[in-house]
Amino acid sequence: MSLQSAVLSSPIPVGNFLEVQDTYRLHYHEIGQANADRPSLLFLHGSGPGASGYSNFHLNYRYFAEQGYHVLVPDYLGYGLSDKPDDIEYTSTLHVEVLREFLQKKNVTRVVLVGNSLGGSIAFQFGLTYPEQVAKLVVMGPGGVEAPELWAGQMSGLRCMGAFIQGRKTDKGSFRELLHHIVASPEMITDELIDTRLPVWLEQPMAVFSTMKVEVFAERLAELKMPVLCLWGQKDNFLPVRHALVVAGLVGNARVIISTGSGHWFMLEEPDYFNQEVLSFLG
């Protein structure tokens, strides 16, 4: 397939590619260049079927570039337009180490991590592992706050996603039903949004989900010394909103926002509110 054909057939805009671990191609979008005067912003998407950096943050990342920030929006291995090997384990530790290599190759020495769901847990883990590189953290409905056996069975969104993945469902109707669990207002799940994610899901090997392992941080969150902004939708069906209070209780320098207008996709459901609050926090 020619490059032009690949671009025309891609479910999301094609950005750039960078080799990681001497083997795999990591896809990413980038605006601007690393700047010694300001940390770069690294946007970290969630783990849902068909997820990508673009589909999670297309209403956000350009805004911050317009404010003068260097912006990076990668797709993890197994997601978006990045390589999707079926013979590796897709742990949060893998993603942290790949992102560390990615930042080194992009000459980024200081970074603000902006992570949703799985991206939030990756942000926490990166901040705990490489604190000297992280200026601030922004997390939206992050994983890793508490052991899953204490809460996962109560979350309707997780149950729906588990059945969807195990059934390897491929039709638009089932995909739409799954995405309805993610948001507070189902009408925001448009055909256009589905079309950015469903083709990616059809290419993802089961290993992306069957080998997924996210670290649980619990009391270790108290070790985070950088400022943390935690945003949570009160109607989140995937990760319990009470975890926002756990973050507030453990992180020494935390600001917590809970909105009744959002579910699990705070940054897409209330993009203007999200963008303004994050910009204020960065200031």
pTM: 0.96
Mind listing the domains of the chain with CATH numbers? 3-282 (3.40.50.1820)
Instruction: Kindly report, residue by residue over 135-157, the tens digit of the pLDDT.
Output: 999 999 999 999 999 999 999 99
Active-site residue, selected from the candidate residues 29, 45, 243, 264: 264
User: Is 181 in the active site?
Assistant: no
Does residue 167 carry a pLDDT above 50? yes
Instruction: Kindly report, residue by residue over 246-268, the tens digit of the pLDDT.
Output: 999 999 999 999 999 999 999 99
> How does the average pLDDT of the chain come out, rounded?
96
- Please give the pLDDT value at position 7: 54
Does residue 3 carry a pLDDT above 80? no
Sign, CA torsion 156/161/164/167? negative
- Please give the pLDDT value at position 6: 47
Banded model confidence at residue 85, pLDDT cuts 50, 70, 90 = very high
Residues in contact with 59: Cβ distance below 8 Å, sequence separation at least 6, in sequence order? 267, 268, 271
> Is residue 263 within 8 Å of residue 237, measured between CB atoms?
yes
Does residue 98 carry a pLDDT above 90? yes
Instruction: Kindly report, residue by residue over 108-123, the tens digit of the pLDDT.
Output: 999 999 999 999 999 9
- Please give the pLDDT value at position 1: 36
Instruction: Kindly report, residue by residue over 14-63, the tens digit of the pLDDT.
Output: 999 999 999 999 999 999 999 989 999 999 999 999 999 999 999 999 99
Does residue 202 carry a pLDDT above 80? yes
